[in-house]
Amino acid sequence: MEFFKNTNIDFLGKKWYFLVFSLVFSVAGLLSMAFWHGVKLGVDFRGGTLVEVKYAHTPDPSAIHSEIERAGLKNARVQAIGPSANNEVLIALDIQETSEQALDKGKNQIIQALESKATPGKQDLNNSSSLTVANYLLEKDPLHLGSGADANPRYTAMAQAIVDYRDKTKGGVLGSIDELKSVADPAAVASLQDNFYVSEFGILNVEIVGPQVGQQLRKQAILATLYSLGGMLIYLGLRFEWIYGVAAVLTVFHDTLITVGAFSLLNWEISLTVIAAILTLIGYSNNDTIVVFDRIRENIKLLRRDKLADIVNKSINQTLSRTILTAGLTFLTVLALFLFGGEVLHGFSFALVIGILIGTYSSIAIAAPILVAYQEWRGERGKKPVAMPLRSGNGPTQPKEKVKA
Amino acid sequence: MNKNLSWKLAVIFGFLLLCVAGIFGPPWAWSGRSPLALVTDHIHLGLDLRGGTHLILQVQVNDAVNVDSDNALARLKEDLRTHKINYADIAKPDPVNHPEMIVVKGVPPDQTSDFKNIIPAEYDASSGAENSWTVSMKAQGLADLKNRAVAQAIETIRNRIDQLGVSEPVIQEHGLGQYQILVQLPGVDDPARVKEIMQSTAMLEIKQSLGGPYSSEQAALQEHGGVLPPDAVLMSGKSIGSKRDTENGEAWYIISRASAVTGRDLRTAEPATDENSQPAVRFILTAEGGRKFYAFTSAHVGDYLAVVLDNKVQEVAVIKEAIHDTGVINGRFTEQETQDLSMTLRSGALPAGIKYLEERTVGPSLGADSIRSGVRAAMVGMLAVLIFMLIYYRWAGVNADIALILNLVILLGFMGYFGAVLTLPGIAGVILTVGMGVDSNVLIFERIREELRNGKTPPSAVEQGFGHAWITIVDTHVTTIVSAAILFLFGTGPVKGFATTLVFGLLANLFTAVFVSRMIFDWVLSRKQRGEALSI
């Protein structure tokens, strides 16, 4: 089976279309970053408090919001997340409500606000740790084990079983304490009834990032991106000629810009994992470019009489099949990640989906034309093209790497 | 099968067995355990998958510097007196921003050399206007002191966490910030309890009390004409006979900055009762601490001594006689409190205050969800790639699929051996490795097809295909690995896990896509008749 056989498309002839296409997307992204949505940073970078809560029944975000507002937190954002069957909401506080002195103050206020229907004098079993449960059981000793040596391990194991049942079987929220009869002794369950009640929610995940860490991470994300781009430039400059490195890095920069632009247009958050995806793309987008460049270098030696533009076109066509296939296969896995990888990885896999599409397009439509445009510009100024072997002998501009014949 | 092939096959199988042992451990340790338990023994799950608490703390290293310079200031003052050097004033001008700096004013020029002689070895003195001298800690010593404070804080926190019985805690310096500590506690979803244990800094200092108790700060100041003695601070404490935790039970003392002994001089501490049968904590000093304490108490018989815990005066007592190495802290504690305090004192005091910068808690149910969706995505992605390769390249697709599965086994084996942590983005890294790994096969196969189209025989097409594609594969791998390596250096937690799997996966891919796949081709070719076509 073969998708692309002997294609002969004049890619360089369409460079103006490509340029317009790229400009439209880059400029749209840039405009959105500058004037519309801006770059929405995730909690890692901007700091703040995120509390992910799971409810036993379908939650009402606006009711939750007013409960929290009553507790004195003015600018909380409450939104349902994930599939609606999951009954999950995300409560977010800005950095202003995340105090440097008492980092978890906002979180505690949220939990207190949600516990507004609490039974006085009782603890919430849905938000108790196994330690709390174990201590309670030890104290009450419902199984009358006395202070024997096995009391501690037995109650600890029982508490762990209760918490595991809640978290792993019931997804974090118990409907009632009676449900525990399947995993714990009835006497213990009866004793728990005395001191505990079950609220309608459980805390799944808490992220609190102080301003200092946010700033630190912002700086590091930018540095890491610059270092990667620099690394590419140096490596490709060494392996090919410097102009190949420049062309590849410009291309990758174009990919990064459009990917970040897509996040801005959709008003999605750039989180730490999205940066990880972008750094991966910086490395991966180069792969297709390298495949094309390798072939150009090989063809320059084989087809000495041809014009560079023709050689480049021929090289792109020759490698078109593998460019599309390799990108397509990686795209397949990334798509699986986007569709099945769950909420946590959504931004990450989305960046990869966009990035791989753009990266493949740009290695054909951006990288190679830059190379040709540069050589033509040099040619106009009467200089020899870089990376073209001399017509005879081993000149200094001979490609550095000999391909094994 | 020729000799060369069997040799290669042996290498591959040996390597494979090693990797399987990396994932599941050596076979003799398998007895009766489920494969899943064996895997998680060797490939550790990150906090995002197993649930747990992640904290980043800032060590306020200036606290430690202040302790050191306060003592230097006290020593200097003592030496100025014993060497009969005149001075107008000695003070720390800016304890918040420059805790390492002491300024001595009005040293007569003719006593300059005497003054220079008494400067502590770890300090430098430089002269300023009007006979004033700035005595600062040497840069190297200052840096050492700060780093030591962080190291000591890590040690102390580890001691305390150990008492909680958390398995596989991570407590280490957080390289991304300055003087920060990363604490990761798998399975702990109650950060409040952890912080309670860590936050009890229990910085014990025994100092001279210069005055008090006063009913308010103003009263204390009035007593001294509105200004404190230069080397003293105001500290609050509980007034004798008052109830605990009531506002009006507060009393103020004037306490000297320098400490006679600190928590670092402590050998042990245990719950005890005082002479009124109230719960108290008895401490015993180290030999060195005992000497210091004896020297101090024998010089100050009749003066008052304050036991200061976390900058709160716990009790003040008159020094009746020189004390060697034991003392009692008496602060109207409950029995539980004396136990907690003894424990924190024993585990060592934090050398400096800590501030929380980041707190993340992943509940176990979310972790379990993440594992489910991560594994599902990995399965779908992998199957899609495997099936595509089979359809598109037929028998050569089988070759690629074998190489791909080996790639995964080697990747997981590496992770087992290096004790790498598998996070949710790490699972994504595994999926990406599949997608990127198969690229190498595609590059090689496409090249082989091209060579076949150009009329080459199968053996020579395979030879050329691998030869040409090899350099390209190395180039593409290097660029991705460079990116991932930078990510590894900059990232934390989950992101680091992603970078790790990606790097290991691509390294393994160089072996499987080139060496293993080539061997399979050679084996297929060796069984074919001359001129028979290659299924690709």
| Across B262-286, average pLDDT | 78
Reported pTM: 0.79
What tokens appear for A31 in the block?
A: 């405009």
- Contact (CB, 8 A) for A120 and A87: no
User: Which one of B54, B180, B183, B366 would you mutate to disrupt binding with A, by most A Cβ within 10 Å of its Cβ?
Assistant: B366
**Tens of pLDDT along A272-294?**
899 999 999 998 988 899 889 98
ipTM of this predicted complex?
0.84
Residues of chain A found within 8 Å of residue B366, distances taken between Cβ atoms = 52, 172, 204-205
pLDDT at A394: 38
Q: Which two tokens stand for residue B531?
A: 């001129």
In a domain, A404, yes or no: no
From residue B338, alpha-carbon distances to B70, B262, B273 in Å are 29, 18, 10
Give the gap in angstroms from C-alpha B246 to the nearest C-alpha of chain A. Answer: 22
Give me the residue from B391, B475, B495 closest to A1, CB to CB: B391
How far A35 CA sits from the closest chain B CA (Å)?
30
Give me B205's structure tokens: 């200092």
Alpha carbons A280 and B482: distance in angstroms, whole number: 9
* Domain at B61-142, CATH from 3.30.1360, 3.90.1010, 1.10.287, 3.40.50: 3.30.1360
CB atoms within 10 A of CB B524: 18
A137 SS3 class: helix
* pLDDT score recorded for residue A84: 83
Confidence of residue B504 (pLDDT cuts 50, 70, 90): very high
Q: Are residues A202 and A283 in the same domain?
A: no
pLDDT in tens, B196-232: 777 665 677 888 888 777 777 777 777 777 777 777 8
Question: Does any domain span residue A396?
Answer: no
A183 and A252 fall within a common domain: no
Does the residue A274 lie in any domain? yes
Fold of B3-51+364-527: Multidrug efflux transporter AcrB transmembrane fold (1.20.1640)
In terms of DSSP bridges, do strands A196-197 and A123-124 run parallel, antiparallel, or are they unpaired?
A: parallel
Q: Is the CB of residue B107 less than 8 Å from the CB of residue B90?
A: no
Is residue A4 assigned to a domain? Answer: no
Are β-strands B266-273 and B279-285 bridged in parallel, bridged antiparallel, or unpaired?
antiparallel
Angle between helix A186-195 and helix A130-140 axes, rounded to 10 deg: 100
The C-alpha of B360 sits at a distance from chain A's nearest C-alpha, in angstroms, of: 4
- Whether residues A227 and A117 fall in one domain: no
Residues A142, A224 within the same domain: no
Domain B200-358: assigned CATH number: 3.30.1360.200
Q: Are B312 and B276 in contact (CB under 8 A)?
A: no
- Determine how many CB atoms are found less than 10 A away from the CB of residue B44: 18
Same-domain status, A268 and A319: yes
Q: Which residues contact B380 (CB under 8 A, 6 or more apart)?
A: A336, A339, A340
- For A:367-396, CB contacts with B below 8 A are none
User: How many independent structural domains does chain A possess?
Assistant: 2
Name the β-bridge partners of B268: B284
* Average of per-residue pLDDT across B246-255: 69
Does A107 share its domain with A233?
Answer: no
Percentage of chain B surpassing pLDDT 70?
94
Interval B124-183: pLDDT, tens: 888 888 788 899 999 998 998 898 888 888 888 887 787 667 778 889 998 778 899 999
Q: How far is CA B316 from the centre of its chain?
A: 38
Q: Chain B neighbours among A 309-328 (CB < 8 Å)?
A: 318-319, 321-322, 325-326
CA dist., res. B433 & res. B378, Å (int): 10
- Residue that the structure tokens 């010593």 belong to: B141
Where does a domain end: A176, A192, A209? A209
Q: Which residues, in sequence order, are CB contacts of A180 under 8 Å at separation 6+?
A: A162, A165, A174, A189, A192
CA dihedral B103, B109, B113, B114 (to 10 degrees): -70
Q: Which two tokens stand for residue A171?
A: 């997804």
Crossing angle of helices A272-302 and B424-453, in 10° steps, is 10
**Equal CATH topology for B61-142 and B200-358:** yes
Give which of A182, A183, A163, A166 is closest to A174, Cα–Cα: A166
Query: Which residue among A282, A283, A403 places its CB closest to the CB of B468?
Result: A403
Please return the burial class of B202, using the count of CB atoms within 10 Å of its CB with bins 0-12, 13-18 and 19+.
Answer: buried
pLDDT tens-place values along chain A, 405 residues long: 778 777 888 888 888 899 999 999 999 999 999 999 889 998 889 889 999 999 888 888 888 888 888 888 888 889 888 888 888 999 998 887 777 777 888 888 888 888 877 777 788 888 888 878 888 888 888 888 776 667 778 888 888 889 888 887 888 888 888 888 888 888 888 888 888 888 888 888 899 998 888 888 889 899 999 999 999 899 888 888 888 899 999 999 999 999 999 999 999 999 989 999 999 999 898 889 988 998 998 898 888 888 888 999 999 999 999 899 999 999 999 999 999 988 888 999 999 999 999 999 999 999 999 988 988 888 888 766 555 443 333 334 444 444 443
Angle subtended by helix axes B517-527 and B3-24, to nearest 10: 140
Q: How far apart (Å, rounded) are the C-alpha atoms in residues A76 and B5?
A: 66
Closest CA to A48 of A204, A265, A212: A212
The domain in which residue A26 lies consists of: 12-42+210-380
A250 vs B532, higher pLDDT: A250
A405 located within any domain: no
Residue A370 sits in the same domain as residue A327: yes
- Mean pLDDT over each residue of chain B, to the nearest integer: 84
Which tens digit of pLDDT belongs to each residue from B326-380? 877 776 677 767 776 776 666 666 778 888 899 999 888 888 888 889 999 999 9
| Per-residue pLDDT, B328 | 76
Is residue A400 domain-resident? Answer: no
**Are A189 and A304 contained in the same domain?**
no
How many residues make up chain A in this entry?
405
- One domain, residues A345 and A288: yes
Contact B161, B185 (CB under 8 A): yes
Spell out the domain ranges in chain B. Answer: 3-51+364-527, 61-142, 200-358
Selected for mutation to probe chain B from A223, A280, A293, A401 (highest B CB count within 10 Å) is: A280
At which residue do the structure tokens 């020029």 appear? B109
B13 contact partners, CB below 8 Å, separation of at least 6? none
B241 pLDDT above the threshold of 70? no
